[in-house]
Structure 1
């Protein structure tokens, strides 16, 4: 089953990988069009020049051709051969220049001589090309021709969003970035898993929370979404950013800015249960879009689920980040972990013990006999005792699970049983707030 799931996720990665994504433009739109083939995606275009918080939506970048020819006319770098050859958002140029002048606009990795790096110049009026260092070192002196046929013009930034209505307007936000070209792990893995999560949420029972899944360019996209949804920010109770989930490294959860929210504790507990190699990371203001959602003015309970940490593995932001680097089993495991975190968050309820003075006489109510029909009556009995003891209206199932070590699903089952016997009652949402 997991093998089939992994292959399905990997096929999405392979399909998305070739698209020339950036902050704006056709590659970004084509990415969202592919998602819209599977899901009821709402697409929004935000015009260039729109003020979004402290930022401005950039001009739209369109590239038709980009190459460098050596003194003999041979093209040593060509965007048509690899999308990472061109620095993202480079301004148009048509120049003849010396080897020394050209070198100021070249980017390579001396410690990875045969790899093309990924670089951008989003917010600077500049241009450049990325090249394997082994090729760069062999460039002869002479005059080089550089052609970069591109435009930066009035256009728009494109956001995609799916809403899965729940029983309440209280919201869980899931976000993944959509702007990196030729990045299978750093970009496409998060998109593939977010799409699968949407499928599962749409096809399953109606959730308690409303879920919003946002597909947006990194940084400016998340900032734009926040600027357009200021009235909704107060309804966001939990969330996660999905990034870099297909590499072979253990899973990691980066805590929200608050550090001890329900989703932080839930994700940390689940990762610990699944293996000691998994990591829980403290918040830092550097990384992916969790830093936008966790900026102090918003301070949302949003962490990040990843595998290899950005900048710490050789394939990161290079031409090595291909679909062959992404492992189907890693994608499947990440999807199931993300889903489990969300399911446990969605099951969180607060209960109030209606017989709080001393332990209720459970045998008189036939509860011990009722528990005999459950798969693990001993564990269920402990779950019942924990729930009765901790259900003071202040602690939810997640907190009780964390303290007792009993799975949320088992606590939920026992809570329903105790409710039938009028020993506990659920605290409604308004009373919890």
Structure 2
């Protein structure tokens, strides 16, 4: 992949200096956040009562966090510009191999399985590592994990499944970070070298912004699709949910948006993509529960219900970095509340009526309908008539009755 042919050696150096000056404080903040977040996850180890907690604490605080702290201290040295990419890559590898070590020690702990996704995201998007370096380091970690897991574990099938997820996610990160870097270069050219070509540049920059926006949409959809791919029975579930949620939203009366203090156009722009994130938290649910052919027992059901919280927590962390992203903001509400019921008997917070965000109320109806007409590990697909009968019976208790009416009209 080639970013630009218009950068000569002097311009390349000037661009890197400009980018470094703009990113320096951000890099320091992100390294500090890495120390805090990497440390705070030890609370999960303690809460889960993992026997190896003391060993994990040693890995976190004695082996990994010192790399972040050294990176922060070096960032105040005048020569940091020349070495900052090496320092960031070393920090990135330390964080990744720390997670790999904990995943190999306790292979059944899905929080570390998900932790690797967070590490890859940090490397490609947050700590400002060059996308080429982040990509090579990421695939190096995956290769190391593959080799070590085959040496230390005999569960080859699960190891290969993990590698598939990690490799797919890294590919998504590579595309997203590459696109972001290309946008930054074009923006630099506009600001510093092409001021006389305003008419042409405005169109070029607009096209690039559209390209970046499309890349963001592709990345979000791919993440949702990746989480769904663990369930072999759902097929195109997220696409159908997204399309039908948009259709229902388009048919809503105008007063619904006014009563909920929602901008209709913005809502319609976001609902299709945001609704695909509703089950992203299932990536943290053990496969023996997710794919169980029979009814879940109470303990398994409690674990399954946690997917709403896992998805919510993940998106809240992303929101802290991209507060104005409408997809993420709506996705937060959908992730957490799409299993709430209109009469207050749902989970996780027992909300009722209009306390439940509008987007989550829409997804609740559409998600249940699509689940009913789809084959699942524990049931055959229902006919459409039977599914619609169940939806109608749920009007006023499970679902918002107004949304049920709009939903039924949307299917005609």
Q: Tell me the TM-score normalised to structure 1 length.
A: 0.27
> Relative contact order: is structure 1 or structure 2 higher (C-alpha 8 Å, sep ≥ 6)?
1
Q: Tell me the TM-score normalised to structure 2 length.
A: 0.28
- Higher-Rg structure is 1
| Bigger fraction of residues in strand | 1
